[in-house]
């Protein structure tokens, strides 16, 4: 069964450091999402890509967060500098085609900022 | 602004019992209501979904009941099993091509043997 791959699975960093997360969606999935899930809460959308273009980044803290999907396949989410409040699970999801409702999530990257 | 409210936060059910999780939404533009199941260390996975043109959808032991006038929907897990122990999220999305999901806060279900 095809999966959304994410790495690293776990990251511990000190505040003010830079961190990066990588996501490889299911092959052929044009839409890619980055969600943040704070412990005990539901996932919240950070950024959405359609191919290589950003569709929605209204909830992305752009002063410290950036995301790219240069070739419309895999994607990187970066945080610089990391803050204590960034500790969360960062989930990547992909969707087969526009109009399809089913999102397939990866296992996530858990970030702990000390 | 939280657009999807979920309750209870946690739930303990005996094996064989019925688990019920409720969600309420505010935006009447929502037209797709999925439930996701998440096991520890894993990402959420789609469990079952409904659109507002039907009042109920059943898949095996899982049923969604939908009340459009009350803007509420619920997940019923019949004959709950220890393997159902997980966190459940309701979600909603608007029409259009974005597929953006707005999630509830989650319910941690524990099914005791």
> Into which CATH architecture does domain A5-113 fall?
Sandwich (2.60)
pLDDT tens for B12-45 read 999 999 999 999 999 998 989 999 999 998 899 9
Q: Of A4, A14, A9, A6, nearest to A76 (Cα)? A: A6
A36 contacts chain B (CB < 8 A): no
Percentage above 70 pLDDT, chain B: 97
> Which residues, listed in sequence order, are joined to residue B34 by a DSSP beta bridge?
B49
* Cβ-based interface (< 8 Å): residues of B facing A: 4, 6, 32, 34, 36, 41-46, 49, 89, 91, 93, 97-106
Q: Average pLDDT of A61-86? A: 95
Residue B12 Cα, gap to closest chain A Cα (Å): 17
CB–CB contact B93 A42 (8 Å): no
**For chain A, percent of residues with pLDDT exceeding 90:** 84
pLDDT of B2 reads 61
Strands B10-14 and B107-112: parallel
Name the token pair of B19: 């688990």
Instruction: Identify all chain B residues contacting A107, using CB atoms and an 8 Å cutoff.
Output: 41-43
Lowest mean pLDDT among A95-104, B31-40, B75-84, B87-96: A95-104
Percent of chain A whose pLDDT exceeds 70: 97
Residue B16: domain span:
4-112
Tell whether the model's pLDDT for residue A84 goes beyond 70.
yes
What CATH number has the domain bearing residue B20?
2.60.40.10
Residue B93 in this model has a pLDDT that exceeds 80: yes
Query: A88, A39 in Cβ contact below 8 A?
Result: yes
Enumerate helices (H) and strands (E) in chain B, giving the number of each. 0, 11
φ and ψ at residue A34, rounded to 5 degrees = -115, 125
Number of domains composing chain B: 1
Residue A101 confidence (pLDDT): 78
Q: Predicted confidence band at A98 (pLDDT cuts at 50, 70, 90)?
A: low
Strands of B56-59's sheet in order across: B4-7, B19-25, B72-77, B62-67, B56-59
- For residues B100 and B93, is the Cβ–Cβ distance under 8 A? yes
Contact at CB, A91 and B44, closer than 8 angstroms:
yes
The minimum CA-CA distance between B88 and chain A, rounded to whole Å, is 9
Per-chain mean pLDDT for chain B: 93
Q: Are A90 and A36 in contact (CB under 8 A)?
A: yes
| Alpha carbon distance A58, A77 (integer Å) | 15
Query: For residue A99, what pLDDT band results from cuts at 50, 70 and 90?
Result: low
Overall average pLDDT of the A12-16 stretch: 96
Contact A95 B104 (CB under 8 A): no
Is A107 in contact with B100 (Cβ distance < 8 A)? no
Report phi then psi at B110, rounded to 5. -120, 120
Residue A94 is inside which H or E element, if any? strand A88-95
pLDDT at B96: 73
Determine, for residues A107 and B43 on separate chains, whether the beta-carbon distance falls below 8 Å. yes
Look at B100 and A48 and tell me if their CB atoms are within 8 Å: yes
Helix (H) or strand (E) holding B92: strand B86-92
| Nearest-by-Cβ selection for B99 from A4, A41, A100 | A100
């Amino acid at each position: 069964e095809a999966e959304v791959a994410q790495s690293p699975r776990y990251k511990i960093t000190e505040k003010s450091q830079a961190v990066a997360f990588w996501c490889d969606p299911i092959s052929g999935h044009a839409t890619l999402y980055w969600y943040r899930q704070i412990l005990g809460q539901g996932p919240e959308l950070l950024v959405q890509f359609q191919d290589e273009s950003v569709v929605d980044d209204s909830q992305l803290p752009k002063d410290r967060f950036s995301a790219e999907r240069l070739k419309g396949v895999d994607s990187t989410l970066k945080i610089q500098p990391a803050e204590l409040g960034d500790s969360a699970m960062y989930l990547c999801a992909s969707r087969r085609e526009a109009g399809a409702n089913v999102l397939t999530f990866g296992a996530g990257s858990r970030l702990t900022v000390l | 602004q939280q657009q999807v409210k979920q309750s209870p936060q946690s739930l303990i059910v005996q094996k064989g019992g019925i688990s019920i999780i409720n969600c309420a939404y505010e935006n009447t533009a929502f037209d797709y209501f999925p439930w996701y199941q998440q096991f520890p260390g894993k990402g959420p996975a789609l469990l079952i979904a409904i659109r507002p043109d039907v009042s109920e959808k059943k898949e095996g032991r899982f049923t969604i009941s939908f009340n459009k006038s009350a803007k509420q929907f619920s997940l019923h897990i019949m004959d709950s099993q220890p393997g159902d122990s997980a966190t459940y999220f309701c979600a909603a999305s608007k029409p259009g091509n974005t597929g953006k999901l707005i999630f509830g806060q989650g319910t941690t279900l524990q099914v005791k043997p």
